[in-house]
């Protein structure tokens, strides 16, 4: 039995798709446990590039895939994604959806956009997919869950009840219960056969000694509690999200894989201590294709930040790291690594809790010599130029965590294993 979780260890977009794709060949079941279609990962399969937002990458290997209870699911977006896969010859027959997952409906997206407008220049820069407002409903105990959604009578009753409340809360917005019901009941009927208690399915899998891969979305710096609050998403992207998001206890997680970029990026607003914006940042953005998968926004660029990744290691009990996009740093004379922050004259190793204090943090940098050699064909750690080896070793030392693998290009073949995740 093994439970492997893949954790975005910065602000998301670390390249989790490539690692989950690699690991899904070893797994029997692949599970998404939080977030919704705010996530986006691209995967190459059969010579084609696919962009997925909701469906775990295990769908390509024909494994059972589960959209678990911690997720917020836009049914329309899910069905579109299924059709897109089917049209490209990928079967979606093996998808199961938790009856406890919350449903994103059009009013969640409207409220998301409306709240962003109200925040004005202090907006969070959300993806406007309704993620936050749907989680708000979950915790306010007025959400509509998949189990209710696929029961036509119940769905209608709940929708009327919820929209009566929403109309009082948002008199500026027009919500049309009949129109939503008429459109969405069709989606509900389509999804109904896939909806079940997925925690039971997972428990049975563990009892049978199977391997389950939990695929995190976003990154730990966007965690609702430990991220750069309020510039965060509304779920727990790290390993802490697995138990509450699947109904399976934490002891089932045997491997926790932190995915990090060899540098750092962030989309949306919020503090970012190692951010810089000069010609080197521009070079990294272009070489790393650093534009959002969902919103196409250019990503903000920063140096590798050990404070951030150490926080991810702590929160997710990382057993090892996958370092992505190492090749993007090729050609730089020197590379900076942030080892700590300086705040009020003191060196600190944890992120302050307030945005105000994070913004006052000055990164403490170490500079390391870069490398000029092309590393895109490297097949082992030993083949790397000495400066690239030193860079990886220093990251591992600063984060107190071994390296499982590193990546030197987008192709599946450009993944170099240092230590096998599952021997
Ligand atoms: P929300 O998740 O749409 O509410 O957006 C909240 C914050 O999380 C914004 O800064 C988004 O840009 C960021 N975010 C959400 N999903 C992702 C992701 O998959 N990658 C990177 N950033 C994300």
Identify whether 44 is part of a domain. Answer: yes
pLDDT at 325: 98
Same domain for 89 and 213, yes or no, is yes
How many angstroms is it from 227 CA to the middle of ligand 1? Answer: 12
- For residue 294, pLDDT beyond 80: no
**Positive or negative torsion for Cα 114, 118, 121, 126:** negative
- For residue 310, pLDDT beyond 80: yes
Identify whether 422 is part of a domain. Answer: no
pLDDT at 211: 96
Identify whether 65 is part of a domain. Answer: yes
pLDDT at 125: 92
- For residue 421, pLDDT beyond 90: no
CB atoms within 10 A of CB 418: 17
Pocket perturbation via mutation, ligand 1, pick of 8, 77, 126 by most ligand atoms within 8 A of CB: 126
Residue scoring higher pLDDT (271 or 51) = 271
Rounded-to-integer distance, Cα 32 and Cα 204, Å: 17
* Residue 319 CB less than 6 A away from ligand 1: no
CB atoms within 10 A of CB 344: 8
Q: What is the pLDDT of residues 129-176, one digit of tens each?
A: 999 999 999 999 999 999 999 999 999 999 999 999 999 999 999 999
Domain of residue 128, residue span: 102-191
Same domain for 245 and 360, yes or no, is no
Q: What is the pLDDT of residues 187-225, one digit of tens each?
A: 999 999 999 999 999 999 999 999 999 999 999 999 999
* Closest ligand 1 atom number to CA of residue 270: 10
* Residue 20 CB less than 6 A away from ligand 1: no
* Residue 125 CB less than 6 A away from ligand 1: yes
Same domain for 200 and 296, yes or no, is no
Same domain for 410 and 328, yes or no, is yes
Same domain for 293 and 392, yes or no, is yes
pLDDT at 350: 96
- pTM for this prediction: 0.95
Two structure tokens written together for 161: 């009840």
Same domain for 51 and 111, yes or no, is no
- For residue 423, pLDDT beyond 80: no
Burial degree of 338 (CB within 10 A; 0-12, 13-18, 19+): buried
Q: What is the CATH number of the domain that holds 70?
A: 3.40.440.10
Residue 353 DSSP one-character state = S
* Closest ligand 1 atom number to CA of residue 126: 5
Identify whether 348 is part of a domain. Answer: yes
Highest mean pLDDT among 21-35, 43-57, 388-402 belongs to 388-402
How many angstroms is it from 219 CA to the middle of ligand 1? Answer: 9
Domain boundary among 143, 168, 191: 191
Phi, psi of 311 (to 5 degrees): -65, -40
Same domain for 350 and 273, yes or no, is yes
Question: Given the DSSP bridges, would you call strands 2-8 and 48-52 parallel, antiparallel or unpaired?
Answer: unpaired
Phi, psi of 136 (to 5 degrees): -60, -45
Phi, psi of 272 (to 5 degrees): -155, 85
Domain boundary among 191, 219, 237: 191
Residues 6+ apart with CB under 8 A from 376: 327, 408, 409, 414
Domain boundary among 232, 252, 272: 252
Q: What is the CATH number of the domain that holds 349?
A: 3.90.170.10
Identify whether 34 is part of a domain. Answer: yes
Minimal CA–CA distance to 318: which of 395, 402, 235? Answer: 402
Identify whether 423 is part of a domain. Answer: no
Same domain for 237 and 95, yes or no, is yes
Active site residue 282: no
Same domain for 384 and 277, yes or no, is yes
How many angstroms is it from 268 CA to the middle of ligand 1? Answer: 7
Provide the pLDDT confidence category of residue 22 given band limits of 50, 70 and 90.
confident
* Closest ligand 1 atom number to CA of residue 297: 12
Same domain for 351 and 381, yes or no, is yes
Active site residue 41: yes
Burial degree of 121 (CB within 10 A; 0-12, 13-18, 19+): exposed
What's the number of domains the chain is made of?
A: 3
Q: What is the pLDDT of residues 330-376, one digit of tens each?
A: 999 999 999 999 999 999 999 999 999 999 999 999 999 999 999 99
Mean pLDDT of 51-55: 93
Same domain for 69 and 131, yes or no, is no
């Amino acid at each position: 039995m093994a439970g492997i979780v893949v954790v975005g260890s910065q602000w998301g977009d670390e390249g989790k798709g490539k690692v989950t794709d690699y690991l899904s060949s070893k797994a029997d079941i692949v599970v998404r446990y939080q977030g919704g279609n705010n996530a986006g990962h691209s995967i190459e399969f059969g010579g084609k590039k696919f962009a997925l937002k909701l469906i775990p990458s295990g769908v390509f290997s024909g494994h059972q895939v589960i959209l678990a209870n911690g997720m917020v699911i836009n049914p329309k977006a899910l069905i579109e994604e299924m059709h897109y896969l089917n049209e490209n010859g990928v079967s979606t027959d093996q998808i199961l959806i938790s009856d406890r997952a919350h449903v994103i409906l059009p009013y969640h997206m409207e409220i998301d956009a409306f709240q962003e407008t109200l925040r004005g220049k202090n907006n969070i820069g959300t993806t406007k997919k309704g993620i936050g407002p749907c989680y708000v409903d979950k915790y306010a105990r007025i959400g509509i869950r998949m189990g209710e959604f696929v029961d036509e009578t119940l769905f209608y009753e709940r929708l009327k009840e919820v929209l009566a409340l929403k109309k009082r809360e948002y008199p500026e917005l027009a919500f049309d219960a009949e129109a939503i019901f008429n459109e969405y009941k069709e989606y509900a009927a389509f999804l109904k056969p896939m909806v079940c208690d997925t925690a039971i399915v997972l428990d049975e899998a563990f009892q049978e000694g199977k391997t389950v891969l939990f695929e995190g979305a976003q990154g730990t710096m966007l965690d609702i509690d430990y991220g750069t609050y309020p510039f965060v998403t509304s779920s727990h992207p790290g390993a802490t999200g697995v138990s509450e998001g699947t109904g399976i206890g934490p002891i089932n997680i045997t491997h926790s894989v932190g995915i990090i970029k060899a540098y750092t990026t962030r989309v949306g607003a919020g503090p970012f201590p190692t951010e810089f914006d000069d010609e080197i940042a521009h070079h990294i953005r272009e070489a790393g294709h650093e534009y959002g998968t969902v919103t196409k926004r250019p990503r903000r660029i920063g140096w590798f930040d050990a404070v951030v990744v150490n926080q991810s290691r702590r929160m997710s009990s990382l057993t090892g790291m996958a370092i992505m996009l190492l090749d993007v740093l090729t050609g730089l004379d020197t590379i900076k690594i942030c080892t700590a922050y300086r705040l009020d004259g003191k060196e600190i190793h944890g992120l302050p809790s307030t945005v105000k204090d994070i913004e006052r943090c000055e990164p403490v940098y170490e500079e390391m010599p870069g490398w000029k050699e092309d590393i895109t064909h490297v097949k082992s750690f030993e083949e790397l130029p000495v400066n690239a080896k030193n860079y990886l070793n220093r990251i591992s030392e600063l984060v107190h965590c071994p390296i499982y693998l590193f990546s030197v290009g987008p192709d599946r073949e450009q993944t170099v294993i240092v230590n096998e995740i599952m021997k």
